[in-house]
Structure 1
């Protein structure tokens, strides 16, 4: 099975079109800078899901008739494409409703190996979905949570390494901040963790859309992602190493799920149309020139940063340093204009940005202690420098309006 078997026309035909044409959700005049919260769906994903749902092969898996065998093959193919996208070695790819659910499931499945007095290392940079489940598990097990602190919105490997002890069992870290765009060095963190006998769980949700992920080079034990952050459907995926997968058991999983993987860690029958769409989205990224995409996104993000820096009254949160590697996520504030009001005003001009603390309140408080609420603009495959100019013009207008400053 391959992507072309699952689409009405070859995937390369879709990829030959201009980037804007590959995303049917784009509308004239709309500026979509909300991609850190979720991207538009690729045309191939849309068509593949529609063909599946409208065709004769819709079925549950596990049976000998053709439609059921097709579901088995479809799921196996999609798992393989996600593993390839993550650069993952042998192990298991699991699917679930979203990253939050998968992370909570995984933490629950490995907590039997954590004993009173053991330690878990979380970070100040992470999305709350990669810290709250570990903290809750530590409380249940009588373990200790140590938190690696950020420095100017960044998390150097040594901030994690200095917290490791022989009692550390797991390190939970992000590869790229969904709030600030700063990236970490998972390989260096994993090397330090291994030296203490600890395992590492990586949130790669914001990394995958913007640069190749290499779970093998990271020496990660688990990597979690969300397909809807990289042009797929609303579905989460989790790769788990062979060793971690074998030890992970959900104590409350019903017998109907079986004792084999992946069923032992997946909570019931999943949506095969979503699995199909995730596989197609993964294959789409694998076939693209990721280096060229990253360079273009970097230029567009740099245009946003440069324009915002020139507007009086606009402040970047954890601004990038020269030559610093980032994902194209820009957080900023407008003096005197509350973030929610600014986002609403931009929406009236057809510009979609997100606002708040982005489920990363600790990172935002550390980077902006005088007030963590901010606006966030994210660059994706369909973002242009014209979009950057539209954002800058609208933000400049807001920053210059005394009436808007009253909040």
Structure 2
């Protein structure tokens, strides 16, 4: 199976359109900077899912009839597409509702081989979904959690290496912060962890939309992501390397799909329309010139940063260094929720709060109750940045 088999026209036709025209959700007068919380859906994804749900192929898998065989082929194709997207040959691909759920299921299974006194390393850079489950598991198993701290908003590999020991079993780390955009050197982190016999679980949710991911080059043992952050449906994907997967087979994990992976972590019927949409989204990203898209996003992010730096009364929190195109800031004279509403009234969508990332926000702005976050997506334009600049000028003036 391939993308052209599930689309009304060849995927190449979709990709030949101007990048912004590939997203039917774009609307005149609406500047969307809410991508870090969830992106617009690509036209090919929308067409594929709509066609599937309205067609004769809807079925559970495992059937000896055409629709059942179609579901088997669809699942196999979707897993293969995710492997290619994550640069992860071999291993196992698990589907679920989102990264948070898949991480919790994975940690629950991994707990079987964590003993009292063992150590788990988390980082100050990470989303709570890659911290809280590990902490909860460590409490249950009598393990110790060590935290790698940020340095000026960045996570150097040495910060992780410094808290490793012979007792470390897992390192949970982000490929890109959802709050600060910072991107650590994962190859160095994984190498340091492997030297002490530990494995590495990578949250790649914010990395996948903006960077070509290469789990094999990193040396990662597991990588998790969410399709709705890379122009697909609301679904999560988890890749587990063969060596890391073997112990999970014996975990006490309720499942209706037996002891083997991926069924061990997929307790129930798959949402085949979400698998289809995820596979098409993966094929879309693989069909783009990722380097060119990343360069375009970086240029727009620099423009956005300059707007924030030049705006009176605005405090920009985003650190320097290598990062994905996310900007975090606040207006001292206005609560973040009120400011977000003011931007929305001016046709600019951004998110506010702590973004389930108290670690990185607390590191760069201790005591700040909430911030504003603007992210550049592949469909962001210079006109969008200009709209943001105009809205910021008015909102900042109201805050003073």
TM-score by length of 1: 0.96
What's the CA shift string for 1:199-222, capped at 9, x where partnerless? 000000000000100000111110
Q: 2:179 matched to which residue of 1?
A: 179
What SS is found at the alignment partner of 2:264?
Answer: coil
Compute the displacement of 1:318 (Å).
3.2
Once residues 242 and 381 of structure 1 are traced to their aligned partners in structure 2, the CA distance between those partners, rounded to angstroms, is 33
Q: 1:335 matched to which residue of 2?
A: 332
Once residues 216 and 257 of structure 1 are traced to their aligned partners in structure 2, the CA distance between those partners, rounded to angstroms, is 28
Q: 1:139 matched to which residue of 2?
A: 139
1:111 and 2:111 correspond: yes
Q: 1:247 matched to which residue of 2?
A: 247
CA contact (8 A) 1:152 1:318 kept: no
Q: 2:73 matched to which residue of 1?
A: 73
Q: 1:316 matched to which residue of 2?
A: 316
Extract unaligned runs of 5+ from structure 2: none
With 76-85 and 368-377 compared, the bigger mean Cα shift is at 368-377
CA contact (8 A) 2:112 2:252 kept: no
What's the CA shift string for 1:216-236, capped at 9, x where partnerless? 011111000000000000000
Once residues 163 and 258 of structure 1 are traced to their aligned partners in structure 2, the CA distance between those partners, rounded to angstroms, is 37
What's the CA shift string for 1:54-97, capped at 9, x where partnerless? 11111000121111000000010010001000000210000000
Compute the displacement of 1:372 (Å).
4.7
Q: 2:282 matched to which residue of 1?
A: 282
1:2-401 to structure 2, matched below 5 A, reads 2-249=2-249, 250-254=251-255, 256-320=256-320, 324-401=321-398
Once residues 149 and 207 of structure 2 are traced to their aligned partners in structure 1, the CA distance between those partners, rounded to angstroms, is 20
CA RMSD across the alignment: 1.0
Compute the displacement of 1:370 (Å).
4.3
What SS is found at the alignment partner of 2:173?
Answer: strand
Once residues 12 and 191 of structure 2 are traced to their aligned partners in structure 1, the CA distance between those partners, rounded to angstroms, is 39
What SS is found at the alignment partner of 2:166?
Answer: coil
With 371-380 and 229-238 compared, the bigger mean Cα shift is at 371-380
Once residues 221 and 13 of structure 1 are traced to their aligned partners in structure 2, the CA distance between those partners, rounded to angstroms, is 36
How many residues align structurally?
399
What's the CA shift string for 1:312-348, capped at 9, x where partnerless? 111110332xxx3210000011121111110000001
Once residues 335 and 268 of structure 2 are traced to their aligned partners in structure 1, the CA distance between those partners, rounded to angstroms, is 43
Counterparts in 2 of 1:319 and 1:262: CA distance versus 1, 3 Å: closer
TM-score by length of 2: 0.98
Compute the displacement of 1:397 (Å).
1.3
Extract unaligned runs of 5+ from structure 1: none
Once residues 369 and 318 of structure 1 are traced to their aligned partners in structure 2, the CA distance between those partners, rounded to angstroms, is 14
Once residues 362 and 373 of structure 1 are traced to their aligned partners in structure 2, the CA distance between those partners, rounded to angstroms, is 13
